[in-house]
A and B are shown apart, each in its own frame.
Chain A
Amino acid sequence: MLFNVVLGIWITAGIVIGFMMPPAIGLVHSTVMYFHVPMAIAMLTAFLIAAWRGIQWLRTRDPRHDAASLAYAEVGAFFGIIATMTGSIWAGANWQSYWNWDAQQIGIVGTLLTYGALFALRSAVDDDDKKRDLWAVYAIFGVIAAIFLTYVFRRLVPSLHPNDTLTKSAPGYRLTLWFNVFGYIMLLVRVAGLRARFETARERLKELSWAMS
């Protein structure tokens, strides 16, 4: 309960502070960056945790790790959709075009399509253990693809996407950015943790109902 209250106040404060900040140097609008950048960082964090929990499943065979891996990947993909949408809004304000096939835009869409395909592949397997084994491998593959597509790709080809605009700005901008990054990572941990708990309990309930019938 206390965590929910802290989270509620933290993110509300982050949104309000983000809207109150003046535009960063060299940009027409930068408000959306306080949500776009934290969402993208939270997305990559989620995919990294999903891969780690997948490895934990392979090592321990504890289904709670598989449930957590899937939950982190799902919430990460949701954060990725928001990062894409907010990035597009930012591009519309600063590049006068919502979509212009920039390397970063292609990269994040590629990441989301990759995870979409991985979710579809997981749902196509009926056997629970096989599904969990395959998902662990998918999660490892997914995070490697995500790091390449969202971080490396735009540095290999020409891109308009700016790097380190806020982190190289005045301390107030950096503080607001990291305040929001921390808030959205807390939200990620909370929501993915709850989804994993719910899924684990639901699976156990299914097993018990099957055993009793």
Chain B
Amino acid sequence: MGYVLVVALLTWGGVFFYMLRLEKLARSVEADVRRIEQQSAVATSPTKTDTAPLETAPREKELV
């Protein structure tokens, strides 16, 4: 009976370490997703050079 108990505990240990490994993997992939989302947000955010209407507004006034 002692031998079977040891086998049961070792099997449970294997499942427990699989669970810890899965958690580590999930956190790692989630961190990658956040990093790429932040990078793409920075790459597509508006900058001063994109604000064409502000630059053209005084010229329109001059024409009038």
Other-chain residue from A8, A195, A197, A212 in contact with B36 (beta carbon distance below 8 A): A212
Count: A-B pairs, CB below 8 Å: 60
Known A208-B37, A212-B36: A15·B29 in contact at CB below 8 Å:
no
The answer to whether A198 touches B22, judged by C-beta atoms less than 8 angstroms apart, is yes
Q: Which residue of A lies closest to B18 (CB)?
A: A191
B62 within 8 A of A: no
Cβ < 8 Å to B, chain A residues 176-204: 187, 190-191, 194-195, 197-198, 201-202, 204
Cβ < 8 Å to B, chain A residues 145-204: 187, 190-191, 194-195, 197-198, 201-202, 204
Known A12-B9, A15-B12, A16-B5: A194·B36 in contact at CB below 8 Å:
no
The answer to whether A194 touches B5, judged by C-beta atoms less than 8 angstroms apart, is no
Known A4-B19, A195-B22: A15·B40 in contact at CB below 8 Å:
no
Taking CB atoms, residues of chain A closer than 8 Å to B4 are 19
Taking CB atoms, residues of chain A closer than 8 Å to B33 are 201, 204-205, 208
A37 within 8 A of B: no
Taking CB atoms, residues of chain B closer than 8 Å to A15 are 5, 8-9, 12
Taking CB atoms, residues of chain A closer than 8 Å to B55 are none
Q: Which residue of A lies closest to B22 (CB)?
A: A194
Q: Which residue of A lies closest to B8 (CB)?
A: A15
The answer to whether A205 touches B9, judged by C-beta atoms less than 8 angstroms apart, is no
A81 within 8 A of B: no
A11 within 8 A of B: yes
Known A4-B23, A194-B22, A194-B26: A208·B40 in contact at CB below 8 Å:
yes
What is the CA–CA distance of A195 and B29 in the complex, to the nearest angstrom? 12
What is the CA–CA distance of A204 and B19 in the complex, to the nearest angstrom? 22
The answer to whether B25 touches A191, judged by C-beta atoms less than 8 angstroms apart, is no
Q: Interface readout for B37-52 with A: 1 if CB under 8 Å, 0 if not?
A: 1001000000000000
Cβ < 8 Å to B, chain A residues 18-54: 19, 31, 35
What is the CA–CA distance of A197 and B19 in the complex, to the nearest angstrom? 13
Known A15-B8, A16-B5: A197·B30 in contact at CB below 8 Å:
yes
B1 within 8 A of A: yes
30 A-B pairs with C-beta separation under 8 A: A4-B16, A4-B23, A7-B19, A11-B12, A12-B12, A15-B12, A19-B1, A19-B4, A19-B5, A31-B1, A35-B8, A187-B19, A191-B15, A191-B18, A191-B22, A194-B19, A194-B23, A194-B26, A195-B22, A197-B30, A198-B22, A201-B30, A201-B33, A202-B29, A205-B36, A208-B33, A208-B36, A208-B40, A211-B40, A212-B40
